[in-house]
Every structure is written in C-alpha cells, then in structure tokens.
Structure 1
Amino acid sequence: MTFKRTIAAAAVTLAAASSGQAATTETFDFFWTAGNGSWTSLLSQTKNGLTLDVTGTTATESHALTGDTAYVQHWKNHGLGVNSHFLDSHQVDSIFLNDVAQFSFSMDGVAQDVKITGIGFSYVDAGDMFDLYVGGLYDGTSAIGSSFYEWLDLDTDYASTFGIGAAEYNYFTGDCDDKRSSRSGGDKDKSKKKKDECKEKTFYSGFKIKYLTVEYDVPPPSEVPLPAGGLLLLSALGGAGLMRRRKVA
C-alpha cells in the first residue's frame, strides 16, 4: 500500500469512528441464573458495563405508579416475581395489589437510556395481560398469550426506567346483549328458555419474568476526543510524508 493510500485509509477510518454510536443488545436472565434466595428490595445485574437494578412497587387501578415499596425475588428455572402483600403470591400479580417490577438502567453510575426489544414470561395463563410503564408513565396494556412460557417482541421508546405490571381488568359473562336490550326498553320473549344472567367479573393477571432484552447506543471508545484526535493523526501522517519527500530529494 502506498503512503498516499495509507493516509486515505486512516481518514476513512476516523470518519467512520466519529460518525455516531454503535447499537448494542443485552439480555438479562432471571431464569437460568441462580436465584437470590429471599425477598429483597433490590436486585442488580451488570452485563458489559450496563447495570440493571430491579425493584418492586404497585400501581393504582388508573395505572399510576404509587412509589410504595414491594419486594422482588427470582428463582432458577422459574423467573422473577414481586411481593407487595403479606398474603401475596410469588408472581407479578394483581390479586391484592397491582404488582409492578421496575427496571432501572445505568452505566458507570449514570442513567442509561435503552429500549426494550423483548420480554420472556413464565407461569402464563390464558387471559393474562401486562401493563407497560416507560419513564414512569403508563404506556398501554398488552396480552401475553396462552402458553405457560411466552416471548414477546417489543419496540419501546428509549428511557432509563421501565415497569412491567400485572393487569387487572373486568369482563362479562352470560347473555349481556339480551340484558342491555331489556334495559333499553326492547321486548323480551318470556316463552323462550331463560338465558344466563349477564355478570361482570374481574380477571387478575399473574406471571413471572424470565428474560429482558434491551438495546442501547454506546459511543465509540476514544481517549482523544474526535475530531481533535483525528486531526493529530492526519497531521502526523502528513509530517511523515513531508520528511519522506525531503529524503527522496
């Protein structure tokens, strides 16, 4: 490679290095790793410099985080659960209070924005749903699935804090259409067989969290800030080229 090509290659490399940040993906495991053994107010994992702190809290029926302390624990081959009541189960559930597992991300002690790209669930029943919180704010309710183990692909907004809570919702059983018709003054054929009474019931979701996959941007490592470092390198190469010319002359 000629000297001119060497300078050109260095310039291209520096331009690529200073063009932006590199996307990195990490998966935090609460299923295969050894359990922590007891309920605690904080669980932490660090992977390649990205630290995840897991805490527990609760939410109101209107999807507002209370900030109250709940406890977290994870079990090998089972997943992560939240306990917010002395009669509470080992899952993230909405039976007594609406449990929420909170996830906070940081690097070197500084909050780090990430986006969630996937969540693995266990202990799932048909009808289970979860509430998602991004940056402390409610961001919608989604169905999980019907299998005991489920994986959901997500593409959330970027934030340094997230919450995954158990959803509580109401549903109706029986012949509710007929009941609504009679309330509105519609005729009802009494000769027909009596239909099931319309009843409103509450479904309490419950599950554990197996995995959490996130994506985040990390600036390229550089001891000398670019473009200053690039200018120094190119200047040095240029000086070497000038010395080479003088020697040839």
Structure 2
Amino acid sequence: MNRILAIASFIMMIATGAHATTVNLMSGGDLHILGSKGTFNVDGVSGTVHAGSYAHNPRISQFHHGIGVRTSHDDTGNLDGLWDEWLTFTLHKTVRLISVTFAHVDTTDDWDVYVGHTRVANDSPSNPYDFGNVIASAFTILADGHKCKLYIFCKSDDNFVIKKFEFEHTPAPVPLPAPGLLLIGGLAGFGFMRRRKQQVG
C-alpha cells in the first residue's frame, strides 16, 4: 500500500508542475534598484526588497557578488552589524521558500533570519540557509553582530552580502487527466485484491 501511495504522490507532483525558481541579486541579475527599494519579477512572481538599519538613510547596495545595505554611517555597502542592517524580501504571492545564499562570508559572519515577523534562526552560519520548505510571502535577513570596547569603540563582526534566494511555486492542484486517475484507481484496486488474496490464503 505504501508503494501505491508513493506512486500516486509522484503522479500528483507531476500534475501540479512544481519547480524551483532562483532570484539572482548580483549586478546584472534579476534585481532592479532605486534607493532603499529593489524590485524583481522572475518566473511570473514579482516582489520587492527594502533596506533597513538603525543608522540614517539605509539604501540597497549592489555588487557583482550580491546585495547589502549602505547607510550614512558606513561605506562598506555590505550587511554589517555595527548599526544593525537588514534586507526584507516581500513577494506578491505565497510561495515555498527553499534557501538563501550569501557571499563575501568569513568565519565571523552569521545572520538572523525572519519569516514574516517570526525569527526562525538566530546567528546562523549556514550557507546556504535552508528554510525547510516553509510557506510564506516575506522574509528578512538581519546582520547584528558587533563588539565594543568600553562601550565606545565598536567594530562589526558581520560583513556579508546576499547572493540569491530560491523558492518554489505553490500552485493550486491541477485536475489529473483521465489516464492518471485510472492509473491511481487501478493501483488501489490491485492493492486491495492483493491483501484480500493474502488473507484468504
């Protein structure tokens, strides 16, 4: 019976046509930037990216290896934790989030990950970070790592960019064509007859 269910699930997966989509964020990629906001439209899904920080005038910076945040208090353009910097991604529809990949990463870098308004990872070093196929329409990456001496002289531990992220469409189930329904019905009937035969024997 388990084999029959597995085959049926595979047929349903083919019918829905789910596939992964990658949004490339580096220069020349899928993101178009104007100040603190970026927009993208990939594989029929549009969305925005917003820059945020506790420092003044946060805006998106873009490099050949990814995007970060630039403020009036720093000039690296990467996501760093000195003033807490973050990028929020909002899609126009609900999708299955798969992963987000970082670049310009060293051993001191880590990131907080929010899905919607819920933090799902605190100081994660995972690259790429796996969302675990969560269903959502927004996520945020936050850099907040820094160290201070005498509460005055502070230095950021985080200094990275976001290279890309992946998601999967979650379309409404497509009705199976007649041959697919007949196949599932036939497999179920075969399984029933096999169990009955074993009981009789």
TM interval, short-chain normalised: 0.5 to 0.7
AA of the residue aligned to 1:218: P
Deviation at 1:136, TM superposition (A): 2.1
Deviation at 1:92, TM superposition (A): 1.1
Deviation at 1:159, TM superposition (A): 1.5
- 2:102 is aligned with 1:121: yes
- Give the number of equivalent residue pairs: 163
Among residues 200, 213, 220, which one is paired with 2:166 in the alignment? 213
AA of the residue aligned to 1:157: V
Among residues 77, 89, 95, which one is paired with 1:90 in the alignment? 77
1:15-63, Cα deviation, whole Å (9 max, x unpaired): x88xx8543321000136259797612111111210121111237xxxx
The verdict on how the C-alpha distance between 1:154 and 1:160 changes in structure 2, with shifts beyond 3 A counting, is closer
Structure-1 separation of matches of 2:142 and 2:116: 14
- 2:119 is aligned with 1:138: yes
SS at match of 2:69: strand
AA of the residue aligned to 2:112: D
Tell me the TM-score normalised to structure 2 length: 0.65
Check whether the contact 1:121–1:207 (CA below 8 A) recurs between aligned residues.
yes
- 2:74 is aligned with 1:79: no
The answer for unaligned runs of 5 or more in structure 2 is 1-10, 149-153, 179-201
Structure-2 separation of matches of 1:220 and 1:102: 29
- 2:19 is aligned with 1:24: yes
AA of the residue aligned to 1:58: S
Structure-2 separation of matches of 1:219 and 1:37: 29
1:1-12 equivalence runs, <5 A? none
AA of the residue aligned to 1:105: L
Among residues 137, 141, 145, which one is paired with 1:168 in the alignment? 145
Among residues 46, 52, 75, which one is paired with 1:51 in the alignment? 46
Deviation at 1:131, TM superposition (A): 0.5
Partner of 1:153: 130
- 2:17 is aligned with 1:40: no
The verdict on how the C-alpha distance between 1:215 and 1:74 changes in structure 2, with shifts beyond 3 A counting, is same
The verdict on how the C-alpha distance between 1:114 and 1:40 changes in structure 2, with shifts beyond 3 A counting, is same
AA of the residue aligned to 2:135: Y
Between structures 1 and 2, the one with greater strand share: 2
